[in-house]
Amino acid sequence: MSAFLELCNQVNDIIGLQGSISDVTSPKGIQRNIVDAVSSSWTDIQTLREDWDFMNAEISSFSTVADQVIYTPAQVFGSTVAAENLSVYKHKRGFFRDNIMLGYVPWEDLPFADNTKADAPVWFSVDPTTNNIHFQRPDDAYNITIRYKKSPQILTDNTDIPNIPQQFQRAIVYKAVQKVATYLGNVGMYQNYSVEGNLIIGQLLRHYVRARRVYPRNFLI
């Protein structure tokens, strides 16, 4: 797996600059542009699609507390630092208790939900402004498996490794080359690596975006 610094030097080599980048925290001149291009290209790829499988995650260590309705991300993940990995919770097929899927109550409908009697939770809602989870009032501690979408990984240190297999890391490099080529005004390089980058993005799509099938009526009967 290539780390952030290695990816930057791959771009440096493709651009044809002499020498190498020794540290991503203090580059000079065009090398500063390369570092920024690699970092932003990885962010662009992570946010390109809403349905990237590699941006999905699950936490199974959370349990409710008897009579407690509201849970902050820090309470769910165990710490404020761990909660930084959360972007948004999955509403559809996102919360499970003992392999039973909890129903989602839209936030605007929560005031109309009767939540006075404590019981085993069968529904939840999420405050979109805080990511606080509101459960049906629990009468005990219940382990809840929660699926969520991760926040984009930001590359900042030399040794940071993008959370993606090695064969797809070329997409980061090629997209970064496009950005640097634009800065340099090198149209030919931009066009060449736009094609190369899109080929790898296509591989990513085939690998990480689930195929959608439309079946004729009564096909499964």
- Domain ranges, ordered by start, for the chain: 4-47+153-208, 54-150
d(CA 104, CA 81): 27
Beta partners for residue 101, in sequence order: 96
What's the pLDDT tens digit per position in 66-97? 999 999 999 999 999 999 999 999 999 999 99
For the segment 186-206, the average pLDDT, to the nearest whole number, is 93
d(CA 147, CA 132): 14
Beta partners for residue 58, in sequence order: 147
The rounded mean pLDDT for the chain is 92
Cβ atoms 147, 55 nearer than 8 A: no
What's the pLDDT tens digit per position in 114-144? 999 999 999 999 999 999 999 999 999 999 9
> Is pLDDT at 221 greater than 50 in this prediction?
no
d(CA 13, CA 7): 10
Residue 1 pLDDT grade (very low, low, confident, very high; cuts 50, 70, 90): confident
Distant-in-sequence, close-in-space partners of 167: CB < 8 Å, separation ≥ 6: 203
Distant-in-sequence, close-in-space partners of 12: CB < 8 Å, separation ≥ 6: 19, 20, 21, 31, 34
Q: Supply angle C-alpha 164, 17, 176, rounded to 5.
A: 30
Q: Where are the alpha helices (DSSP H) in 89-186?
A: 170-184
What value does the CA radius of gyration of the chain take, rounded to a whole number of Å?
Answer: 22
Exposure string (b/e) for 24-47, b if CB count within 10 Å is 16 or more?
beebeeebebbbbbbbbbbebbbe
